[in-house]
């Protein structure tokens, strides 16, 4: 089953990257940078490079390591390009179409452009219909092509102004990286849903990336986050910035809770520190009489460490993760899901047997993982299992770039905490409150988008989109991170 909603649209959950520098091997550095963003998308990867005259791109389905061979990188590198644009996209069992993989590359009589997008537009459907009715032809089903088509419409005003004009039509979440003949451009939507940051590389070059961890990975130096509603233009005269919109900010809270890498810093807040604070807060709100604290690795580990420190309990590696199980092409179904979790995580009997265990995870979405893990701990001899979750119950789907199941599949939308505790078979279950979550992230994030926990969205959602998401068939998405 490709990762396609009933309207045939692919859902996006991505990482973007851009490099600019004369004398810099932008192809190879871009390739390395994509590895650091792999957790943001495992379905496809792509890189486009330009020397100003020609644009070359290589894209494919799968992980970065599968998509690029040494020859591909050498071939991209042979152009002597000064600009690269890279992208990784969300993974699912079975994969999606190559046509939708990014960066999208367009040739226009006024020049060429490569575009990479992270996020989801909330009025993408509507804009597509408008553009189609005016004669536009689309090759993909992605929102990103809508932006590209809008841009082409205003191209006579020059890249920068065309972009500002195009973005005036677009609503929703978008962190964009664009490469043109002479410029690398970065854009963050007015609400700053998805992250994007700027760094310096060797040879006087620049890097734009979804997460600061990608800047560190290529040996660059973080400069700053791109601001919500800001456009930065990098060219031979350096970096220029332009604010194209001003609106209340609603950066995604789930980047801190689960999605981003532990070693990234987003909008001034380090993700590892944020997760530790969430764990500490969780221990204050939901203490437990226990012997040890364990985590669901890797994303649950910093919160578990924070919990253990605040509760004055020892942290132990009660679950062991097999790092060599990546994508597993197992079709949905309870029995096979269970097998899939067991392939990835096993209980360490030596640590667990005879103990009262607090198990900390970053989130419960469908509830399947937790149900399996609680059973696993009991089989390993745990005398009690207390589950603690470092965010509030996840009750509403995301329309701004994090892929989540439909409301019908979100366990917290169907059950209260007591029922969920019974369902997963734990001795107790505690979720961090919304106030506690915000307190842990403050003062860096005071106005984050928390719609996944409240069902209140910061902007109105395309009616078509909302209905589509609610009736989306079940698929298997649980291995994006872990």
Nearest residue (CB) to ligand AMP, 79 versus 364: 364
CA distance 256 to 274: 7
- Is 366 a binder of ligand AMP (CB under 6 A)? yes
Q: 290 to 329, contacts with ligand AMP by CB under 6 A?
A: 296, 299
Counting Cα atoms < 13 Å in the Cβ hemisphere of 225 gives: 20
Question: What x-and-dash track marks residues 336-365 binding ligand AMP by CB under 6 A?
Answer: -------------------------xxxxx
Beta strands in 262-381 (DSSP E): 265-266, 269-270, 292-295, 319-321, 345-347, 356-361
- Is 404 a binder of ligand AMP (CB under 6 A)? yes
Angle CA 427–430–435, to nearest 5:
170
Residue pair 423/373 in contact by the 8 Å Cβ criterion: no
Do the bridges between strand 356-361 and strand 292-295 make them parallel or antiparallel, or are there none, so unpaired? parallel
Q: 451 to 480, contacts with ligand AMP by CB under 6 A?
A: 477-478, 480
The length of the chain, given as a count of residues: 482
Catalytic site includes residue 449: no
Shortest distance in whole angstroms from residue 402 CB to ligand AMP: 5
- Is 250 a binder of ligand AMP (CB under 6 A)? no
The rounded radius of gyration (Å) of the Cα atoms in the chain is 22
Q: 374 to 403, contacts with ligand AMP by CB under 6 A?
A: 402-403
Shortest distance in whole angstroms from residue 258 CB to ligand AMP: 5
- Is 38 a binder of ligand AMP (CB under 6 A)? no
**Quick one: tokens of 272?**
């590892």
Binding test (CB under 6 A) with ligand AMP, winner from 367, 401, 430, 436 = 367
* Catalytic position from the list 14, 197, 421, 449: 14
Residues forming a β-bridge with 440: none
Binding test (CB under 6 A) with ligand AMP, winner from 20, 193, 258, 315 = 258
Shortest distance in whole angstroms from residue 390 CB to ligand AMP: 10
- Is 151 a binder of ligand AMP (CB under 6 A)? no
- Is 445 a binder of ligand AMP (CB under 6 A)? no
Helix locations, 101-187, DSSP H: 124-133, 143-153, 159-167
CA distance 429 to 382: 16
Q: Answer positive or negative: Cα dihedral of 73, 78, 79, 82.
A: positive
Residues that bind ligand AMP (CB under 6 A): 258, 296, 299, 361-370, 402-404, 477-478, 480-481
Active site residues: 14
């Amino acid at each position: 089953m490709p990762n396609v909603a009933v309207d045939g649209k692919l859902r996006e959950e991505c990482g973007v990257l851009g490099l600019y520098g004369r004398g810099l091997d932008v192809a190879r550095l871009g390739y390395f940078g994509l590895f650091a963003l792999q957790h943001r998308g495992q379905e496809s990867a792509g890189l486009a490079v330009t020397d100003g005259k020609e644009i070359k791109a290589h894209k494919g389905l799968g992980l970065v390591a599968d998509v690029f061979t040494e020859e591909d990188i050498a071939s991209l590198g042979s152009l002597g390009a000064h600009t690269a644009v890279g992208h990784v996209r969300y993974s699912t069992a079975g994969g999606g179409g190559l046509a939708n993989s990014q960066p999208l590359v367009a040739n226009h009589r006024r020049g060429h452009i490569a575009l990479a997008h992270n996020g989801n537009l909330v009025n993408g459907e509507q804009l597509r219909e408008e553009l189609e009715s005016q004669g536009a032809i689309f090759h993909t089903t992605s929102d990103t092509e809508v932006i590209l088509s809008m841009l082409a419409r205003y191209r006579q005003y020059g890249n920068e102004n065309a972009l500002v004009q195009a973005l005036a039509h677009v609503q929703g979440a978008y962190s964009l990286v664009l490469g043109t003949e002479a410029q690398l451009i970065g854009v963050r939507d007015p609400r700053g849903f998805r992250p994007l940051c700027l760094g310096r590389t060797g040879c006087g070059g620049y890097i734009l990336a979804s997460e600061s961890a990608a800047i560190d990975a290529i040996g660059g130096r973080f400069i700053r986050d791109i601001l919500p509603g800001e456009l930065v233009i990098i060219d031979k005269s350096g970096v220029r910035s332009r604010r194209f919109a001003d609106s209340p900010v609603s950066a995604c809270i789930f980047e801190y809770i689960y999605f981003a890498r532990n070693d990234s810093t987003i909008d001034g807040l380090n993700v590892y520190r944020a997760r530790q604070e969430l764990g500490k807060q969780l221990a204050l709100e939901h203490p437990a009489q226990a012997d040890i604290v364990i985590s669901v690795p890797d994303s649950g580990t910093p919160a578990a460490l924070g919990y253990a420190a605040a509760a004055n309990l020892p942290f132990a590696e009660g679950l062991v993760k097999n790092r060599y199980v990546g994508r597993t092409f197992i079709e949905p179904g309870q029995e096979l899901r269970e097998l899939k979790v067991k392939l990835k995580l096993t209980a360490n009997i030596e640590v667990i047997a005879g103990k009262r265990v607090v198990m900390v995870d970053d989130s419960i979405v469908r509830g399947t993982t937790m149900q399996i893990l609680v059973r696993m701990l009991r089989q390993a001899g745990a005398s009690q299992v207390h589950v603690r979750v470092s965010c509030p119950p996840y009750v509403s789907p995301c329309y701004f770039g994090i892929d989540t199941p439909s409301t019908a599949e979100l366990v917290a939308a169907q059950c209260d905490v007591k029922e969920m505790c019974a369902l997963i078979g734990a001795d107790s279950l505690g979720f961090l409150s919304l106030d506690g979550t915000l307190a842990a992230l403050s003062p860096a994030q005071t106005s984050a988008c928390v719609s996944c926990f409240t069902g209140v969205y910061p902007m109105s959602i395309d009616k078509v989109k909302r209905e589509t998401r609610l009736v989306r068939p079940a698929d298997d998405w649980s291995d994006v991170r872990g």
